[in-house]
Amino acid sequence: MSSPQQPPIPPVPQPPAPGGWQQPAGYGAPGYGAPAAPYQPPQDPRYAQYLQAPPAPKPSSGLGMVALILSLVATIGASILLAVALSAIGNGLGARLETITPGSGMEILTPVRDWVLVAEIAAWGGTALGIWALVQGIVAVAKRRGRGAGIAAIVIAALGPFIAVAAAFLGAVAGVAGSGAV
Residue scoring higher pLDDT (52 or 153): 153
**130 part of a folded domain:** yes
Residue 42 gets the label, from left (phi > 0), alpha (psi -120 to 50) or beta, of: beta
In the chain, the amino acid numbered 142 is A
Q: How many domains does the chain have?
A: 1
pTM: 0.65
Residue 36 has pLDDT above 80, yes or no: no
Continuous H helices in the chain: 45-48, 62-72, 78-93, 113-142, 147-178
**149 part of a folded domain:** yes
Question: 161: exposed, middle or buried (C-beta count within 10 Å: 0-12, 13-18, 19+)?
Answer: middle
* pLDDT value of position 82: 96
Torsion of CA 89, 91, 92, 93, to 10 degrees: 80
Q: How far apart are CA 93 and CA 10, in angstroms?
A: 112
**83 part of a folded domain:** yes
Residue scoring higher pLDDT (122 or 30): 122
Q: Mean pLDDT, to the nearest integer, of 25-45?
A: 62
Encode burial over 96-116: b for 16+ CB neighbours within 10 A, e otherwise.
Answer: eeeeeeeeeeeeeeeebeebb
Range of the domain at 74: 61-96+110-177
**76 part of a folded domain:** yes
* pLDDT value of position 33: 60
- Other beta carbons within 10 angstroms of residue 94's beta carbon come to 17
Whether 146 contacts 67, CB under 8 Å: yes
**69 part of a folded domain:** yes
97-133 pLDDT, tens digit each: 777 777 777 888 888 999 999 999 999 999 999 999 9
Q: Mean pLDDT, to the nearest integer, of 33-43?
A: 63
Residue scoring higher pLDDT (28 or 15): 15
DSSP 88-122: HHHHHHGGGGGG--TT--GGGGGGGHHHHHHHHHH
Whether 161 contacts 74, CB under 8 Å: no
Q: How far apart are CA 23 and CA 2, in angstroms?
A: 48
Encode burial over 54-73: b for 16+ CB neighbours within 10 A, e otherwise.
Answer: eeeeeeebebbbbbbebbbe
